[in-house]
């Protein structure tokens, strides 16, 4: 499938009326964080968090949530709805994050079974730095990954 041209795919901070659409994507998603509208709204209202969306001329195509800490930035969530995957949307979101947090380390947790996301992060320069055993409520392990600022 063709990748979107970079000139038609852009990223920006989300606007409050758009949060419900992000929650709808989450409701039909089986991988990832599976956030509800409450959690997305909570994150939106938090000063230390940023929610970025990717869009083309007609619609939103994905979103990512990062939270700042004194020693770097944690990627809390990223989701591209199924119909928009493998076209560079996730990469565009991550590149936008890397630009915004330039000079800082970024880390994240991903389900051990979510191998597609792990391949995605590896392609962006993330390395596995550890495993948290039975981290998720359902007993699945979390893989910890990070990207050092020198990658910029």
Q: Which residues bind ligand COA (CB under 6 A)?
A: 29, 31-33, 78-80, 85-91, 110, 114, 116-117, 119-120, 123
CB of 62 to ligand COA, least distance (A): 6
CA separation for the pair 112, 4 (Å, rounded): 30
CB of 85 to ligand COA, least distance (A): 3
Q: Which is nearer to ligand COA, 83 or 103 (CB)?
A: 83
Q: Which is nearer to ligand COA, 101 or 142 (CB)?
A: 142
Q: Which is nearer to ligand COA, 22 or 88 (CB)?
A: 88
CA separation for the pair 50, 69 (Å, rounded): 12
The three-state secondary structure class of 52 is strand
Sheet of 142-147, strands arranged across: 10-13, 49-55, 60-69, 72-79, 106-111, 142-147, 127-132
Closest-by-Cβ residue to ligand COA is: 90
């Amino acid at each position: 499938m063709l990748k979107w041209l970079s000139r038609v795919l852009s990223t920006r901070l989300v606007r409050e009326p758009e949060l419900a659409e992000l929650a709808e994507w989450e409701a039909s998603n089986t991988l990832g964080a599976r956030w509800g509208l409450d959690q997305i709204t909570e994150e939106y209202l938090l000063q230390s968090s940023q929610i970025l969306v990717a869009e083309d001329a007609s619609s939103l195509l994905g979103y990512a949530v990062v939270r700042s800490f004194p020693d770097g930035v944690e990627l809390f969530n990223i989701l591209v709805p199924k119909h928009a995957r493998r076209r560079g949307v996730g990469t565009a979101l991550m590149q936008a994050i890397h630009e915004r947090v330039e000079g800082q380390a970024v880390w994240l947790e991903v389900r051990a079974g979510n191998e597609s996301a792990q391949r995605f992060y590896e392609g962006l320069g993330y390395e596995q730095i550890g495993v948290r055993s039975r981290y998720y409520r359902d007993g699945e392990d979390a893989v910890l990954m990070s990207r050092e600022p020198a990658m910029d």
